[in-house]
Structure 1
Amino acid sequence: MSRPQVSIDRLTPRRTNAEPRESMNCKSCRKRKIKCNRLRPSCEACKVFQCPCIYDAVPKKRGPKTDVLEALLKRVDGLEKRLQDENHPISPASSSSPVKALEMASLSQVNFHPPPPPHQFPPPVVQHPPPPPTQNHLPETMLDTYFARLHGKPFFILDETVTRQRYQRGQLPSFLSMAIYALTLRYNGPSPQPQGLDYARQARRMVDIDRPSTEGLQTLLLLSQTFFAYGHGKRAYMTLTNAVAMVLALDLYREVPSQSLPATERETRRRLFWTVYVMDRFLTCGSKRPCLIADHSIVLRLPATDSETGEFFNPVGPNIQYGDVRRKGSGGAALLVDITRILGVTHRYLAAGGVKGDSHFPWHSLSNLSKIRQELDIWAAGTQDLFASIEALFGHPESTLLLLSKLIYHLIHCLLYRPFLPIDLVELRGTGQHQSWQIEATTLCFSHANAIAELAELARHAPRVEWPDLVAYCVCTAGTVHVHGVHYHGREGEVFASSADFLGREMQQLAWLRQHWSGVHHQREMLQTLSACHADLVRTLAARPVRFAPVFHLEDFFDRYPGLVVDAGHVRMADVDEPVSFERPDFSDNRLMYHGLPSLPQTTRSNSIGFQPSQQTSAWPDLGLPDAGLPGFSPSGVAGSPGAFLAESSFAGAPTPPAHHQPQPQYATFPFEASVGTTALTPDEQSQSGSAAGGATTDTSEKDPFLSLLEQLAENEHSQGGPSELDFFLGERLDEGQTEAV
C-alpha cells in the first residue's frame, strides 16, 4: 500500500517577522532580570509594566582568557628584552615599535585590568674590572725570589725549569703570575704589604674552579699561603678546599700509566699532590675539623730523590724503614710526608677524644697512643743520620724540610702527652702503675717542648732556613707545656726548671713570626690567656684541702680550664681584622704572662733570616754548641735539649724503673741509655720490661687510676699521723650528708 504524496503547497508557510529587534536586552528587563523580546520601540514586558523601554547596552567582544593574556605579555617582555640585548633599545613612547603596536592593539580590543608586574631582581651592576696584567708585569726578580726562598721550603708547587721556560716564552698565565707576585711581595719589606692582598684577591677571581687544571691548582696553593700570610685564615682554608677538590678531579692521588706522561710531568703531579696533602694536615692541625684527604684513598709514590723513584705510599705506615739500604738516601720531602701522616693520625686520635675515646688505657701496648708512639720511634730510627748533629741539620741543602720534620716529631709528642700534665707535682706521688707512667709522660712532654723552643731559637741564626707557618703552632704548643712548668717546684737541673725562660723565648718567637705570617697572631694571644688562666687554676687548687685534679677523664687538654673557650687550631676560621675571642666568665684582665716572669730584652729582626747570596751560604756562624753527636746538656742545664735530642740516643724512650726501685719518684729524669740501632720502647713496654727484670709480680692488666688512688689513700690512712688525705677528699661529701640529715 503506497503512501499518498503530500504536496509542498500543503506545508504551513514559515511566518516571517519583519519587526526590528535589538541585539541587547533593554534596561528595564536587565534590571528585573527577565526575558526580553527586544522589540522596537517597546518590548512586551515594558508594555505590560507600562514603563519606558530604553536600549542603552553596547555589545562588546569577549577578550582572551587570563592564561592566554599572561602568555602574550611574557612574549612581549621577551621580545623587548631581546631587542635591548642587541643594543637596539626601543623607546616606550615610540608608536612605530611593532611590539608597542601589538600591545596597544590588544589593549584596545580587550577591556581588562592587567595583573601587577611580578617582582623581579634588579638588573646586575656590570662592573668592568681593570684588564688583567700579562706576565710581563711579573718582574723576573720576583721569580728568582720565589725559587730562592719559597720553592721546596717546604712546598713543591712549581717546577723551576718548566716555569722559567714558560716565563721566557710569555706563556705563563696571568693569574699564576699574580699569585707568585702576591706571595713574594712580602719579602721586599719587613711586613706583608697591602697591595699583595689585592693581587691575591684578583687572582682568586680569575681562577675558574669549574675547569680543573694544573695551573689553576698551583695558583690556589700559592693563594692559600698568601691569604694566611695576611691573616685571612678562613679564606686560606676555603681556598685549600677548592684545591683539594681540583686534586681529586685531576686524579692526582693515583699513579698514571708510565706510557701516557713523561717522567718529569709524572713527578710534578706527585709533588703537587703531596703539597696539598701536607697543607691539608697543617691547616686542620689543632682543630676538630677532619682532614680532607683520606690516607687509604692514596695510590701514589712518594716524592722522588735525585737517585731513585719514590716508593709507594703506605697508608698505615711506616714509609721510612730503619736499616733499609734503599731508604738511607731518603729526601726531605719523603720524610716530611711520613711524619705528616703520623700527625694526621694524631689529629684523628685527639679529635675522637684522646684517651677518653680509646678502648685501652694509655699505658697499654694496644692503646692508640702506644701505636702512635711506636710509629714515631720507627721514624726517628730511620732518620738518625740526618739528625746526627746541629751542623748536619742546618748544613743540609734541605734544612728547612728537615727542621720542620723534626719540629713536627717533637710536636706530636707534646700533643700526645700534654693532656696528662699534672697541675701540681703532688699528683705524681705514689708507686702505682698510672703514676709511674704519668711521671714518664710528663718528662717526655717537657723534653720535647724544650727541644722545640731551642730548635726554633737556633734556626733564627741559620741562613738556609726559612720559616713555614706551622713553626708557630709548634712553638705555641710547646708554650702550653711550659706554662705548667712555671708553677712546678723542683730541684735545679730538672727538665722543667727553665720553663720560665723557654716561655719568654716562645712569646718573642711568636711575636717575631707574626711579621711573616699574620695568621699566627691568635696563637700568641691564646698563649697569654692560657698563662693567666693556669695561674688562677693553680691558686684555686692550692686553696683546697686536697690538691688533686685527675686529668685522665678529660677529653681535651683545654678542658682542665673551666669556662675557657679558645680556638686552639693552627688556622683560625676568621680574618685578621676580626677580634680574637677568648671567652672566660671570670677572666677579663689581659695580664701579661704570669707573675715573676723575667723580662727578656727585645731583639731586633735578624738579618740572617733574610735572603742571603749564594757565596755566603758556606760561611757558617759559630753556634757555640757542644758536640751534638753525643748525649749532653744545653748551656741552660736542662735535660732533653735539642743537642741531646738530635743524637740517636734521644730516639729511645725513657725506661720506667720498677716500683720497688723508686723510694721517691724522680719527676725530671730523662736518661739517654739506649744504644744506636736498638728499637725504642713505648712507655708500656718499658714499664713491663722493668717489672719483669725486677722479678715483681705486678699485675699488668688495666686498672682505673682513680680507684688505684683511693686504694693507696686508704692504705696510708692509718700509717700517717693526723688526718689523712682520704679524710680531706671525702670530708666535703660527709659534711654535706650530715647537713642534709640534720
Structure 2
Amino acid sequence: MGRWGDPPPTPTHAQMAHLAGPRYSPAPAQGHAPHAKRRRSEDRPLAITCTPCRARKIKCDSTKPTCDNCAKNPAECVYPVKLKPGLRPGTGTDMTKRVEALEEPTPMDLISPEMALDLGFKSPASAASFLDPHLLPPDDIVRDLIALYFSHIAPWAPIIPPQSFTAPWNIIVYAIVVVTLRLSNDPRIASTKQQYRQTAKSHVLSHAIESTSISSVQALALLALDLIGSEQGPSSWGILALLTRSAVHLGLITEDERSGKTPPHSLSRTSIIPPPADWGEDEARRRLFWLIFCLDRYACVSTGWDFALPDFEIKRCLPCRDELWLGTEWQTTPLFKPVLHRDAVPDPSQLSPMAYLVEALDLLGRAHTLQTRTVEPNDARQVEHRKDMTMTLTTAARRWFADLPDLEAGSMSLVIQAIYHATLLKLNAYYAYPALGTGTPPQPYGDTCITSARALAQLCGAARELGFIHSSSPLFVWSTWVAARVLFVNDFLAHRDAPCTEFEEILAALKEQAPYWSLANQYTNLLERAKRKWSTGSAYDAEANPSLPDAIHVLLDLRRTAYSAVGANGEATPYVSPPDVSLSHLPAWAVQPLLGDLHNWFDLPAGLFTEGA
C-alpha cells in the first residue's frame, strides 16, 4: 500500500470473495500483490458507498458485490478501502504555497489610485491605502469639507471636538468627506462627488473591519449619519448593526472607572481599548456612545426593529456642556435615567443640549416599545392598560418638554422639539380616529395630534429662516414627514377637498431640504403623488369607492411594513371587510377598508428604495 495521499487501491478478489460469500466465485487472479501487502489491505474496512454512487452523489445501499444502482453494470461497482483518518501528507506545504500565491502582486495592485477612482474600484485591503491622498479630493477641498462639517453637522451631532486636521488625512476625515460632500457647491467636484463618496465610504468600512479603535467607530458613526439621510436600502444598514455591536464590544455602554476598579461581572471582560488618556477623550467616547444610542432608537422606530442597545444595560453619564468638554478638568455629570424613572430634573448648567436629544429619543423609543406589544382586540383589560400607558407617556413627555431650559436657536434645538412632537403623534394618532366615531377625532387624542402636527409645520418655518443648510438633519426630516402623514390622514378621512395649509407648508419645506438630505426627496415624491391622486379623484366613500389609487394607499395602508409594500405595483387595493367584533376601541384604519394597524405606520415609507417611486 502506498502513502495516505495516494489513490486508494482497488479491492482484491480475496476481499470481494470474503465479503460476498457463496455469491461470488471469481477466477484466480494473476499478478496479485505480495502476501504482506495483501494482508494489510484485508485488515482495512471497505467504504460503505461504492465509487460510481459517490461520483453520481446518490445514495448507495451498500450491497456487495454489486449495489442496486450498479446492477446493470456490475463490473463498475467497486467499494474502495477506507482511508486512514487525519490530514494527508503534504497538506501543510500545499496551504503555504496557496498563501504565498495570494500575497503575490495582482493586477488590482498595479492600478493607480486615479484609475481606481475612475473605474469605481472598492478599497484595497492594504492598511497603507487608508492614507492615500489620491482617493480624496484635493487637500484644499478637503479642508473646506471639514469646515462644512463643524458648521452644519457637528451642531446636531457633536462627537468630534474642534481640532486642526492635517494631511495625510486620518480615517475620521474620510468619513467627514462622505457626510459633507452633499453640502459642497465646489464646481471642481460637481461631477465626481459620488465617486469620491463611494471610495471614501469603502475605505472607512474596510478600516472599521480591520482596525478596532475609537477613531474607526467615530468614522462609522458619521457614515451612519450619511446613511439615514440618504436613499439607501436595508442592504446598507449593516453599518448600523456594526456600529451598535462595536459600541458594546468596546465598552462604550458603561462608564470607565478612572480609579482603576472595574464594575463586577460574572465573567471578566476582555479590554479591547486602553482607558481614555485625558478628560477630552473620555467625554468624546461618551458622546460617541450617545450618538449611537440616538441612531439606534431612530432606526428601530422608523423600521419596527428591536433595540440593539437595551435600556437596562446602559450605565452612562449624560454629555456635558461644550465649554467643560474643551477644558482639562475631569467632570461628573448625572447618570442617564429614563424620564419616567428619574427623581429630579438634572442641573442644566452642566449638560450639553445633546443630553436633551438623548432624552427625547428615549421617550420616542418607549412609545415604540408600547405600541409593538401585541394586544388582543377582545381583551378589554389589555386595551385599557395600553390607553393608560399612552396617557402616562404623553403626560411624562409634556412635563419633560416644559422643564427644558432655553436652548440656543439652531439645528439641535429644532431636532429636539421635532422629536418631541413626533413622539406625541406616534402615541396619540392610534386613538385619534375611532372606528365607530362620528368623524371628529375624540379628545384628548385628536387635539394632541393636530397641535403637534401644526407645531412641526411652524418648526419648518423657523428652520427656513435659519437656512436649511444649517438647520436640516435626517431626524428633523423624518419628524416633519410624520406630521405631514398625520395631517393627510386627518384631512382625507374628514372628506375634505384638499390637504390643509400646514400640510402644504411641510411639503414645501421637504422640497427645500431635498438637495441636502435625499431622504426628503423620497418623502416629497410620496406626498405629492398622493396629493395629486386625491385632487383628481372623488371623495373617499367606502361603499361607492371601495378601492383607492396606490399613491394614496401608500399613506393610508398601515398594515404592511415599508419593505413588504415596496413590491406592491398594483394601482388599487381590493376592499377588505371589517371583522364582526366590537370595534369601538380601535382606530379607524384597523377596521375601515384599505386602512391598517398603526404598528408599522411610522416605518420609512413604502417605495422609499424603489427607483421612480
Q: Same fold (TM over 0.5)?
A: yes
Which structure has the larger Rg over C-alpha atoms?
1
Match of 2:334 among 278, 291, 311: 311
Q: 2: CA distance between counterparts of 1:573 and 1:481?
A: 16
Q: 1: CA distance between counterparts of 2:385 and 2:595?
A: 32
> C-alpha offsets along residues 226-267 of structure 1, whole Å, 9 cap, x if unaligned?
233441142553201111101101111111123464222221
Q: Which position in structure 2 is the counterpart of 1:471?
A: 476
Question: What TM-score results when the alignment is normalised by the length of structure 1?
Answer: 0.53
Q: Give the AA of the match of 1:453.
A: A
Q: Give the AA of the match of 1:406.
A: Q
Match of 1:75 among 86, 89, 93: 89
**SS in structure 1 of the partner of residue 157 of structure 2:** coil
Equivalent residues of 1:200, 1:223 under 8 A apart = no
Q: Which position in structure 2 is the counterpart of 1:283?
A: 299
**SS in structure 1 of the partner of residue 430 of structure 2:** helix
**SS in structure 2 of the partner of residue 475 of structure 1:** helix
Q: 1: CA distance between counterparts of 2:335 and 2:86?
A: 67
Equivalent residues of 1:346, 1:372 under 8 A apart = yes
Match of 1:134 among 129, 132, 135: 132
**SS in structure 2 of the partner of residue 313 of structure 1:** coil
Alignment of 1:1-150 (within 5 A): 57-58=30-31, 60-61=33-34, 74-75=88-89, 79=93, 82-83=96-97, 127-128=108-109, 130=113, 131-134=129-132, 138=139, 139-150=142-153
> C-alpha offsets along residues 435-476 of structure 1, whole Å, 9 cap, x if unaligned?
8xx233212211110110121122112149421102222122
Q: Identify if the C-alpha distance between structure 1 residues 78 and 573 changes in structure 2 by more than 3 Å, giving closer, same or farther.
A: farther
User: What is the Cα-based RMSD across aligned positions, in Å?
Assistant: 4.6
Match of 1:297 among 285, 290, 313: 313
> C-alpha offsets along residues 633-685 of structure 1, whole Å, 9 cap, x if unaligned?
xxxxxxxxxxxxxxxxxxxxxxxxxxxxxxxxxxxxxxxxxxxxxxxxxxxxx
**SS in structure 1 of the partner of residue 251 of structure 2:** coil
Equivalent residues of 1:321, 1:378 under 8 A apart = no
Structure scoring higher RCO (CA < 8 A, sep ≥ 6) equals 1
> C-alpha offsets along residues 33-91 of structure 1, whole Å, 9 cap, x if unaligned?
999xxxxxxxxxxxxxxxxxxxx955655588566878999435764564576579xxx
Q: Which position in structure 1 is the counterpart of 2:446?
A: 442
Q: 1: CA distance between counterparts of 2:525 and 2:333?
A: 41
Question: What TM-score results when the alignment is normalised by the length of structure 2?
Answer: 0.63
**1:350 and 2:366 are equivalent in the alignment:** no
Q: Give the AA of the match of 1:199.
A: T
Equivalent residues of 1:271, 1:303 under 8 A apart = yes
Q: Which position in structure 2 is the counterpart of 1:706?
A: none
Q: Give the AA of the match of 2:222.
A: L
Equivalent residues of 1:282, 1:570 under 8 A apart = no
Alignment of 1:274-673 (within 5 A): 274-305=290-321, 306=323, 309-315=332-338, 317=340, 321=344, 326-327=347-348, 330-353=351-374, 367-383=388-404, 385-386=405-406, 396=408, 399-422=410-433, 427=438, 438-463=442-467, 465-487=470-492, 500-527=500-527, 538-540=540-542, 553-554=585-586, 560=592, 562=594, 568-569=601-602, 571=604, 576=609
> C-alpha offsets along residues 681-715 of structure 1, whole Å, 9 cap, x if unaligned?
xxxxxxxxxxxxxxxxxxxxxxxxxxxxxxxxxxx
Q: Identify if the C-alpha distance between structure 1 residues 226 and 380 changes in structure 2 by more than 3 Å, giving closer, same or farther.
A: closer
Q: Give the AA of the match of 2:395.
A: Q
Equivalent residues of 1:142, 1:181 under 8 A apart = yes
Q: Identify if the C-alpha distance between structure 1 residues 81 and 426 changes in structure 2 by more than 3 Å, giving closer, same or farther.
A: closer
Q: Give the AA of the match of 2:182.
A: R
Q: Give the AA of the match of 1:377.
A: R
Q: 1: CA distance between counterparts of 2:309 and 2:437?
A: 43
Match of 2:174 among 170, 173, 178: 178
**Structure 1 range deviating more: 268-277 or 465-474:** 465-474
Equivalent residues of 2:131, 2:168 under 8 A apart = no
Q: 1: CA distance between counterparts of 2:588 and 2:541?
A: 22
Shift of 1:425: 11
Q: Identify if the C-alpha distance between structure 1 residues 87 and 542 changes in structure 2 by more than 3 Å, giving closer, same or farther.
A: closer
**Structure 1 range deviating more: 126-135 or 472-481:** 126-135
Q: 1: CA distance between counterparts of 2:146 and 2:30?
A: 89
Unaligned runs of 5+ in 1: 1-31, 36-55, 89-123, 387-392, 430-434, 491-495, 581-742
Q: Identify if the C-alpha distance between structure 1 residues 405 and 319 changes in structure 2 by more than 3 Å, giving closer, same or farther.
A: farther
Shift of 1:426: 6.3
**SS in structure 1 of the partner of residue 402 of structure 2:** helix
Equivalent residues of 1:360, 1:366 under 8 A apart = no
Shift of 1:557: 5.8
Q: 1: CA distance between counterparts of 2:93 and 2:374?
A: 64
Shift of 1:537: 8.1
Q: Give the AA of the match of 2:132.
A: T
Shift of 1:522: 4.1
Equivalent residues of 1:364, 1:370 under 8 A apart = no
Q: 2: CA distance between counterparts of 1:333 and 1:197?
A: 27
Q: Which position in structure 2 is the counterpart of 1:151?
A: 154
Q: Identify if the C-alpha distance between structure 1 residues 377 and 361 changes in structure 2 by more than 3 Å, giving closer, same or farther.
A: farther
Q: 1: CA distance between counterparts of 2:494 and 2:83?
A: 90
**Structure 1 range deviating more: 244-253 or 69-78:** 69-78
Task: Tell me the matched-pair count.
Answer: 461
Unaligned runs of 5+ in 2: 1-24, 42-79, 114-128, 260-274, 325-330, 547-577
**SS in structure 1 of the partner of residue 89 of structure 2:** helix
Shift of 1:578: 5.2
Q: 2: CA distance between counterparts of 1:296 and 1:58?
A: 79
Shift of 1:184: 1.3
Report the identity percentage.
Answer: 17
